[in-house]
Structure 1
Amino acid sequence: MKAFVASAILLAAALPASAQVWRSDQGDGTFRNPVLYADYPDPDVIRVGSDYYFATTTFVNTPGITILHSKDLVNWTLHAHVTDRLDGREQYDLKNGNGYRGGLYATSLRYHKGMFYIAVTPVGQKTRIYTARDLRGPWQFHQLDREAFDPGFFIDDDGTGYIATASTADGTITLLTLDKAFRTVVDARKIHYIKGAEGAKVIKRGGYYYIFNSIPPRLGMTVSRARSLFGPWETRNQIDDKSGGHQGALVDLPNGQWFGFVMVDAGSIGRMTNFSPVFWEDDWPRWGTPDAPDRVPDRARKPIQGFAFAEPATSDDFARSRLGLQWQWNHNPDDTRWSLRERPGFLRLRATQANDIWSARNTLTQKGQGPQSRAVVKLDIRQVRAGDRCGFGTFGQYSASIAASRAADGKPYLAMSVVESTQSGPKIDLRVPNEPITGNALWIAVDADFVQDRAVLSYSLDGRAWKGLGGDFPLAFAWRTGTFQGEQFAISCFNPQPGGGTLDVDSFMLTRGKPVAATPKP
């Protein structure tokens, strides 16, 4: 993967100067992978007419379940979120612990007779089926009587609904048959076994049903086919992370062709999505092209021509009355402690009581963007008080930030820290405890290099002259102790004591970055 990223960076250098961090559409009828150089894991993609929709995991971030839209499977924009808040566990409000690595993941998106359906199993809860006539909502859900791990929702030609489910710990694929309203499980049968299988996705082509399964123990993917959903099934290996990815399936085109989407683990950026041509051989799908089979190409012809470049939103001036779809809170927010209306044109964060960023509610996050990106926030710190830690940085396995505070005499200063998430709790490295500054305007920048898995922080008092603070620090993806996501950008404001101040955020700007050179070890 590192070799592929390096070659992709050379391609990027050949493009005209642009503010875009990553551009998949090459403007010549081709695209390059990954289509989205960011953490959009557990993809599920469907076509409705000439529109494509992409549902992705959001874990404990809210609003939850992100949906993107495209006309050509290459140029994607943010379209909607399904739910504003998480429920069922007090940890989602950061009470009595946290919900990191929990929440909503591995959703299955379908469309049938004017209605959109999403099957999802919140961690530790029973499977839900969300429904809406418009992807922008309103959404409603009902709950089944059981927990179906990584539910693969499928609606057959006769309108019967099914859920295929398998867990890595077992590998047995179970098929749940639903009633006509998709509200009740009326039958459950074990239909197949694949060691280590999970993430089932079901499609139908011609006279065959196909189940695609992820095999996490070897970061691979299989496809099984049968004439009946109840089997018998025959299985073949497909691709893996070395040849393109390990969780995904196929989506059909209006002309009858098919295209593949697949997730690939890619280091600190998280898990990215690749797209691939697919051809058929004896009614078996094969990724790639006949002259380069069984791998996702680095570059290929766009499946649908004629649509202009588009991308998910990133930069923001906070001029609207609602947060942009690119933003998510680290848990359910406390809506009394943030506002876009109190000071029009600014996002206002009131300091939440917490000892560190890991336990601080109302941390506003946005996905990191690769291969390298530079994120800059402009802040007004005039209402930051003593004890506050209000600033900007990264959030994930390593949460590094430059935060503003005030001394007892009211003079402002900055602190730079790196918080590592470990099994025993947050480990704090306070690298710069006191950097005196003047004035109320503050710019903070994160330069993140997702090829080298390193980043640096810097600040400015005028937006022009910059000073680094604290040296470089690592970026990492680690599902056991982190957020189960790639490193994110994060704006935060907290104070170990009650009654903190406020931080006013003027703007966030994301542009293409440069490689980060690691500090030589002594």
Structure 2
Amino acid sequence: MRLGLLGAALLIAGAASAQVWRSDQGDGSFRNPVLYADYPDPDVIRVGSDYYMASTTFANVPGITILHSRDLINWTIVSHLVDRLEGLPQYDLQGGDAYRKGLFASSLRYHAGTYYLANTPVGQKTRIWYAKDVRGPWRYHELEREAFDPGLFIEPDGRAYLATASTADGTITLLTLDAALAHVTDARRIHYIKGAEGSKIIRRGDYYYLFNALPPRLALSVSRSRSLFGPWETRDQIDDKTGGHQGALVDLPDGRWFGFVMEDSGAIGRMTNMSPVFWQDGWPVWGTPSAPGRVPRRAAKPIPGGRFAEPGTSDTFTAPRLGLQWQWNHNPDPARWSLTERPGWLRLRPTLAPRFWSARNTLTQKGQGPASRGEVKLDIRHLAAGDRCGFGTLGQYSGNLTVTRDAAGRTTLLAETTEDRVEGAVTTTQASAALPRSEALWLRTDMDFTTDRSRFAYSLDGRRWTALGGDVPLAFAWRTGTFQGEQYALFCYNAAPSRGWIDVDDFTLSKLAPAGPVRP
């Protein structure tokens, strides 16, 4: 069922905030995905009874999200790897954008009291980050070469290696690192799998296991060998039809193993699924003996008990720092935003930009499925002529409610759509509404990932809502767009220097009844 175009009829405010998706069913079972949002390229490790996941963030800042769980099902964000991106002026939105660059496909490991994370910034050399606390501070060694999608593996005696492969070639190379994990001392081709990338290595008993994503087939393979240098024998594991195509295994304290994998899931992005794993003739098999070779939609929790937990979403902006769920679309300009100029509010001053797609300091968080509603309360009294500030989505299609003011002081609300194309981002205006002189304005964005449509409404009192504009598509595309699932976005920019600003009182995320079917 496709959401119909919305007219200008009055709408009733939505229900109070509720959990959008709960993987933990509260009865000892869980359902996939464990997070109904875009957490791509997962790598998961266990440290004692704690589990940590590193996930890709591309040009978003802070970069590389690190999550924590005690049961592999309930996750919260605990930190990020970096506060800003380095190496390209485009990370500051100078001379173009970097939406499809930045940081991705990290490999997280722990050894002898230190956390390590291998990452290759796009177009730069590989870095081995290290920290005593997963919350940081992180420092890094930069290697002599670029290793695509590096898979870090550390032997119990401290010997460290990186496995790397790219889809264009399929040759898997093993890099040997020195004792400090600061230099490459040897590089050998150890295997070949057509289309391979995203390497991960684990060890169980006498065998090493090498997992590789096969993006051309959206599949996952596993290879095994008694030596890291081969020879390797390879088997296909699963694919997006049976659960996902990039991931590996993590062990539990009692010796069992669980699998994690990402699945391309349309406009929401790439979601992480978890699966029991059993062993047969020395090979891991995803699923259960009664239903082998596929990630179950529902299964018993790997570790029973434990409390429900999830990454933060709603925010009143009363804390001294932004919540860990928030990220800027590129490196932010710290002079153009503040949580202290008006305590309890987020202040956004316009950045200099001709259009939404190239505007710095757009504050984002992940869209949540199956369907969710984001709502913000704004103080618009201090807008200056030409300011364009508001709320909506950021993605392959960006649908926004934009508040603007002209030289005569007239305030207008625009429903705008920006589509990123190969030839550049194109913005069109769907509808507009003249606003009275007032202090408060509420804006609302609905995202329904069962129909891949978004819609928008505004209110002058927080109770009575008026729809503005029609539906806007939700989409994911790696060649254009942001290489991420659709995100909620708060923004403020002007084509000319401005002394205006907009204040954001709060952001509320709530559950929305989906219009289409939800996976079982």
Residue 32 (structure 1) aligns with: 31
Work out whether residues 447 and 516 of structure 1, in 8 Å CA contact, stay in contact via their aligned partners in 2. Answer: no
Q: Contact (CA 8 Å) 1:152, 1:201: kept in 2 or not?
A: yes
Moved more, 199-208 or 397-406: 397-406
Alpha-carbon distance between aligned partners in 1 of 2:338 and 2:398, rounded to the nearest angstrom: 24
- Could you say which residue in structure 2 is the equivalent of 1:187? 186
- The answer on 1:158 being equivalent to 2:157 is yes
Q: Which residue of 2 aligns with 1:51?
A: 50
| Residue identity opposite 2:488 in structure 1 | F
Matched, 1:240 2:239: yes
User: Which amino acid in the other structure matches residue 353 of structure 2?
Assistant: A
- Give, as a single letter, the amino acid of the residue that structure 2 aligns with 1:290: P
Question: Residue 55 of structure 2 aligns to which amino acid in structure 1?
Answer: T
The 5-angstrom pairing of residues 397-476 of structure 1 reads: 397-476=396-475
Q: Which letter maps to 1:229?
A: L
Q: Distance in 2 between matches of 1:402 and 1:448?
A: 14
Give me the whole-angstrom Cα distance separating, in 2, the residues matched to 1:437 and 1:204: 66
2:93 aligned residue:
94
Contact map agreement 2:225 2:232 (CA 8 A) in 1: yes
Question: How far did residue 515 of structure 1 move?
Answer: 2.9
Whether 1:249 aligns to 2:268 is no
The structural deviation recorded for 1:496 is 1.0
For residue 326 of structure 1, what is the aligned residue in structure 2?
A: 325
Q: Tell me if structure 2 keeps the 8 A contact 1:82–1:137.
A: yes
- Structure 1 counterpart of 2:10: none
- In 1, distance between residues paired with 2:387 and 2:400? 13
Give the secondary-structure state (helix, strand or coil) at the position aligned to 2:91: helix
Q: Report matched runs for 1:137-156 at 5 Å.
A: 137-156=136-155
Please say if 1:498 is aligned against 2:497.
Answer: yes
User: What secondary structure, in the 3-state scheme, does the structure 2 residue paired with 1:426 have?
Assistant: strand
Which residue in the other structure is 1:73 paired with? 72
Give the drift of 1:353. 1.1
Runs of 4+ with deviation above 6 angstroms: none
SS of the aligned residue for 1:148 comes to coil
Q: Is the 8 A contact 2:58 2:103 kept in 1?
A: yes
Instruction: Quote how far apart the aligned CAs of 1:409 are.
Output: 2.5
C-alpha displacement of 1:124:
0.2
1:516 Cα deviation from its structure 2 partner = 5.1
Residue equivalent to 2:13? none
| Structure-2 residue corresponding to 1:9 | none
SS at match of 2:464: coil
1:169-184 to structure 2, matched below 5 A, reads 169-184=168-183
Q: Partner residue of 2:5?
A: none
In the alignment, what sits opposite 1:299?
Answer: 298
Worse-matched range after superposition: 105-114 or 495-504: 495-504
8 Å contact kept, 1:127–1:148: yes
Q: Distance in 2 between matches of 1:240 and 1:412?
A: 51
Question: Residues 403, 516 of structure 1: CA spacing in aligned structure 2 closer, same or farther, 3 A cutoff?
Answer: farther
Q: CA deviation at 1:422?
A: 0.4
Q: Within 5 Å, which residues of 2 pair with 1:300-315?
A: 300-315=299-314
2:200 is aligned with 1:201: yes
RMSD: 1.2
For structure 2, list consecutive stretches of 5 or more residues without a partner in the other structure.
2-15
Residue 20 of structure 1 aligns to which amino acid in structure 2?
A: Q
In 1, Cα distance between the equivalents of 2:156 and 2:279?
22
Does the aligned pair in 2 maintain the 1:388–1:500 contact within 8 Å?
no
With the length of structure 2 as denominator, give the TM-score of the two structures: 0.95
SS of match in other structure, 1:92? helix
Asked if the contact 1:494–1:500 (Cα under 8 Å) also holds between the matched residues in 2, the reply is no
Deviation at 1:343, TM superposition (A): 0.2
> Within 5 A, what are the aligned runs for 1:214-233?
214-233=213-232
The letter of the residue matching 2:203 is K
Asked if the contact 2:57/2:103 (under 8 Å) is kept, the reply is yes
Q: Structure 1 residues 461, 516: CA separation in 2 closer, same or farther (over 3 Å shift)? A: farther
Q: Which residue of 2 is the match for residue 372 of structure 1?
A: 371
Q: Deviations over 1:38-77 (max 9, x none)?
A: 0000000000000000000010000001000000000000
Q: CA deviation at 1:492?
A: 0.1
Percent identical across equivalent pairs? Answer: 67
For 1:187, the aligned partner's letter is D
**Alignment partners' CA distance in 1, 2:150 and 2:444:** 40
1:432 positional shift: 1.7
2:221 alignment partner AA: T
- Structure 1: runs of 5 or more not aligned: 3-16, 518-522
Any conservation in 2 of the 1:160–1:180 contact (CA below 8 Å)? yes
Contact 1:454 1:516 in 2 (8 A): no
Aligned partner letter, 2:223: S
Distance 1:231 1:39 in 2: 35
What does the per-residue CA deviation read over 1:331-380, in whole Å, with 9 as the maximum and x for residues that have no partner?
A: 00000000000000000000011111110000000000000000001111
**Cα distance in structure 1, aligned partners of 2:171 and 2:462:** 57
Check if 1:120 corresponds to 2:119.
yes
The one-character-per-residue Cα deviations of 1:4-24 (angstroms, maximum 9, x if unpaired) are xxxxxxxxxxxxx97000000
Q: CA deviation at 1:436?
A: 3.1
Pairwise CA distance, 1:433: 4.1
- Give 1:427 shift: 1.1
Residues in 2 aligned to 1:408 and 1:117: alpha-carbon distance in whole angstroms: 54
